[in-house]
Chain A
Amino acid sequence: MKQFFAFVKKEFFHIWRDKRTLFILLGMPITQIIIFGFALTNEVKNTKMAILDFSKDASSSQLIQKMSVSKYFDATTVLANYLEVEPLFKKGKIKMVMVIPQQFANDLQHGNQAHIQLICDGSDPNVANTLSTYATVIIKDFQNEIIKEQKLPYRIETDIRMLYNPELKGAYSFVPGVMALILMLTSAMMTSIAIVKEKEMGTMEIILVSPLKSFGVVIAKAVPYMLLSMVNVATILLLSVYVLEVPIRGSLLLLLSEGLLFTITSLALGLLISSVTDSQQVAMLISLMGLFLPTTVLSGYMFPIENMPLPLQIMSNLVPAKWFYFIVKTIMIKGLGIQHVWKETLILVGMTVVLFGISIKKFKTRLS
């Protein structure tokens, strides 16, 4: 046991001396959360909108007023004719133009039918789609206010409720995703690099000649990164609760234990990588290509797995992050307990055991 602690202490010296890496490791969750939280958002807020109002009557100004007070649009630019529309889009100044035809109020009151044209910037289809939906909803709302008094024979109102995330905040889905990504990177990549470094330096031989058991070496290497990962979990959770206002609805203890489990899974992956290569560059490359990519693409937090072709759907089951993402989402956002994630937890445990088994076996056979 004393030997083991001497080794762990040495590992901490390595990490502590390499300030730059330490800084990156601890800074990564903070920057990721901030980037995802404030920059990479597909929510619509205060979008610049231009108005082309040919009608200029009471109804049209009411509608424009309604657009402006909503927090989604900022309808301040007023245009005089169609010729002004394209240059504005080209400059990227606006995302949408609302065109109100002549006689808008008249048509509405006497003809029972009026038209509104929405022109969107289709070069960014997702945003265009979201914007037109939002605008349509506001226009519909406007219409409902007008016809409130009149009674229509048939009318179906859809009342949509978004459970667990009523405001459709993007943070609810990326916080669990970022957690999976960060844990995968710190644990798997850093452990594999730390072990391979020892091989490259030639110090691994000295360790193997010593009375330390190979199992002990592997664990001692992993312990510091496990602690670092838990610090990262705490950082991510604190930031998401206090900065992004994402709640932790389920049990914090359960969430942390699942985090620890996933950290151990990642460590096992890191060990496996270190056992198949002798150079730090290769270890880094395998970690990035083999872990980073599947974790972002196939875990379901960026692209829905249900929409993928079947082979990819099947492959995604091999990605530990997919299960972890589901678990975190279920506990954090839906507030459910272990009875709803025990299957996924068992899958992670199974993966960990298999990965550890293979890497320790590989580690041993390399000696003879």
Chain B
Amino acid sequence: MINEKVIIAESLTKNFGDFVAVDQISFEVAKGEIFGFLGANGAGKTTAMRMLCGLSTPSSGKANVAGFDLFKETEKIKKSIGYMSQKFSLYEDLTIRENIQFYGGIYGLSKKNIQEKSAYLVEHLHLQNYQNNLVKSLPLGWKQKLAFSVAIVHDPAIVFLDEPTGGVDPVTRREFWELIYDASARGITVFVTTHYMDEAEYCNRVSIMVDGRIEALDTPKELKKIYESVSMGEVFLKLARKAVRGE
């Protein structure tokens, strides 16, 4: 598992004019790993993630995502990743089934494959009785679980989650993480940014960004040892206090 790297970033940098949003970050993520990406607001984690997804072109550096070069093979990368943004990413005026069909469709899945996938997803999420309901009628927690399942409907190598559990109660968050573990067990690499420190504990490895740089990167256990803390929350505070940049 350690051998196969699905994300390799080397000195990846993004400037907006004079402002260095992401400052030469380098890291590697292994296949099937759950990689947590932490940082205060404005630390540059969303920008870093957007670069890896091909939404934003890096100013300099090198990166390889899912075995493809970030600069030259963006189109191939797009086929092998899934993405769930912090804004809600399903269509509210479409039914559950129509949403699944749409996302399956734009990733070019066959009709039969989409049929099977939707049947499986609906059953897996216990949504059988609601599959023809409009998404806007569902509670937020259900929507987010559905959004995640839809983001991996095409079995991508990596799924990028940008603060996926904002505004959800702890019980639903726990259920959401069970979905993440499922995906990871199936070999899908999970790259997740979060504000919740309990979620940071669930990750295999965690990187903490401060002022555009990666200040620390290790397993939660090691990080707590290095920074002599009892929780990831404490680790985070110790590091984030050093930040010069405000929000």
Which chain A residue shows the least CB distance to B80? A211
A102 to B107, CA, bound (A): 91
A278 to B104, CA, bound (A): 27
| Selected contact of A14 from candidates B81, B93, B107, B151, CB within 8 Å | B93
Contact with A along B132-156 (1 / 0, CB 8 A): 0010000000000000000100000
Which one of A1-9, A40-48, A125-133, A324-332 is at the interface?
A1-9
Query: Is residue A310 within 8 Å, beta carbon to beta carbon, of the partner chain?
Result: no
Interface residues on B, range: 20 to 34
Interface residues on A, range: 20 to 34
Q: Are A3 and B85 touching (Cβ within 8 A)?
A: no
Chain B proximity of A277: nearest CB distance (Å): 17
Task: List, in ascending order, chain A residues with CB within 8 A of B86's CB.
Answer: 202
Given contacts A209-B53, A210-B106, A367-B56, contact A202 B85 (CB under 8 A): yes
Q: Are A205 and B91 touching (Cβ within 8 A)?
A: no
Given contacts A209-B55, A211-B107, A212-B106, contact A6 B101 (CB under 8 A): yes
Chain B proximity of A104: nearest CB distance (Å): 74
Task: List, in ascending order, chain A residues with CB within 8 A of B88's CB.
Answer: 201-202
Which chain B residue shows the least CB distance to A14? B93
Q: Are B89 and A203 touching (Cβ within 8 A)?
A: yes
Given contacts A210-B78, A211-B106, A211-B108, contact A13 B94 (CB under 8 A): yes
Query: Is residue A18 within 8 Å, beta carbon to beta carbon, of the partner chain?
Result: yes
Q: Are A3 and B108 touching (Cβ within 8 A)?
A: yes
Chain A proximity of B72: nearest CB distance (Å): 15
Q: Are A10 and B94 touching (Cβ within 8 A)?
A: yes
Task: List, in ascending order, chain A residues with CB within 8 A of B54's CB.
Answer: 209
Query: Is residue B191 within 8 Å, beta carbon to beta carbon, of the partner chain?
Result: no
Task: List, in ascending order, chain A residues with CB within 8 A of B55's CB.
Answer: 205, 208-209, 367
Query: Is residue B174 within 8 Å, beta carbon to beta carbon, of the partner chain?
Result: no
| Selected contact of B102 from candidates A10, A208, A368, CB within 8 Å | A10
Which chain B residue shows the least CB distance to A198? B91
Which chain A residue shows the least CB distance to B162? A205
Task: List, in ascending order, chain A residues with CB within 8 A of B242's CB.
Answer: none
Query: Is residue B75 within 8 Å, beta carbon to beta carbon, of the partner chain?
Result: yes
A49 to B22, CA, bound (A): 82
Query: Is residue A207 within 8 Å, beta carbon to beta carbon, of the partner chain?
Result: yes
Q: Are A10 and B79 touching (Cβ within 8 A)?
A: no
Q: Are B85 and A368 touching (Cβ within 8 A)?
A: no
| Selected contact of B98 from candidates A13, A18, A203, CB within 8 Å | A13
Which 5 A/B pairs are nearest by Cβ-Cβ distance?
A6-B105, A202-B87, A209-B83, A17-B93, A368-B57
Extra 9 A-B pairs, beta carbons < 8 Å, given A7-B105, A212-B106:
A3-B105, A10-B91, A14-B93, A17-B134, A202-B88, A205-B55, A206-B83, A206-B103, A208-B55
- The contact sample of 21 A-B pairs, CB cut-off 8 A, is A3-B105, A7-B102, A10-B98, A10-B102, A13-B93, A13-B98, A14-B93, A14-B94, A17-B93, A17-B94, A201-B88, A202-B86, A202-B87, A205-B55, A205-B83, A209-B55, A209-B78, A210-B103, A211-B75, A211-B79, A368-B57
